[in-house]
Amino acid sequence: MTIVSTPRTPDERAPVGPRRSIIGTSWKMNLTSTEAGGYCDALRPLVADLLDRDLFVLPPFPAIWIARERLSGTNVAWGAQDVHPEDGGAHTGDVSAPMLADLGCRYVEVGHSERRRDHGETPELVAAKIEAIVRWEMSAILCVGETRRLGPAAALEQLLPDLERSLGGMPAGSFDRLVVAYEPVWAIGDGAVAAPPDDVGAVQSGIRAWLDARAPDGSAARVIYGGSVDEAIAGQLLAQPGVDGLFVGRRALDPVAFAAIARAPLPRT
């Protein structure tokens, strides 16, 4: 197998800017390539003036090339919903980090609760995937969340050990390539509702404190909330301490709705 480019070490990476608010969506197993083209065409003009925050979409693998075609040169980045930890080899049906980097992906999601549930993914496997993502100069979106509704303190008791195991291979100096997506499992899916904004703020402030203490550049990582986000609650969530952005699920399958959420006011700095 021939790979046309090689990854760089953390010291050789292009610099990443200061921590900015970030709002994005994973389409999960929705939208064909044809439908993805229409979605991107509809979304572009609705968010073209949003230059004070980072935006992204994560299509299914077959539609990533469409996102590259329709979103290149815009303020909307694109990425993938998973990756294999190896750069190549006999891994039928899997997709590697160099393949995603070649498609211009900026973000790669790992550790979603559905991957853990349906594919038995462990934090150690997630850690190996993060290492590959960062090695190929992309940013990892690490999903963590408690399985049942708990108070913030009890939720953090579950989440922080998961973060420790999942970030074990995070190269020093690379936390600017990390987005932690707090997604309570009980707040995901049809009929679910978002976690109370105050609870979200408390949990995400705890994650932020852990990251700040974890590594010299841990404060460069961004912490976002996902789980039944919609237009009504987006602004309240963004106003909470420790919330650097939003990770929108099924509501964002409508580009008009996603644009409305993306336009939610950011807290004053």
Q: From the candidates 112, 121, 137, 146, which is the catalytic residue?
A: 112
Q: From the candidates 109, 131, 146, 183, which is the catalytic residue?
A: 183
B/e letters for 85-121, b = 16+ CB within 10 Å, e = fewer, are bebeeeeeeebbbbbbbebbbbbbbbbbbebbeeeeb
Beta bridge partners of 141: 109, 179
Q: Is 112 a catalytic residue?
A: yes
Secondary element (H or E) of residue 143: strand 139-144
Instruction: Confirm if 85 and 123 have CB atoms less than 8 A apart.
Output: no
Q: Is 231 a catalytic residue?
A: no
Secondary element (H or E) of residue 182: strand 178-182
Instruction: Confirm if 55 and 77 have CB atoms less than 8 A apart.
Output: yes
- Known catalytic residues are 112, 183
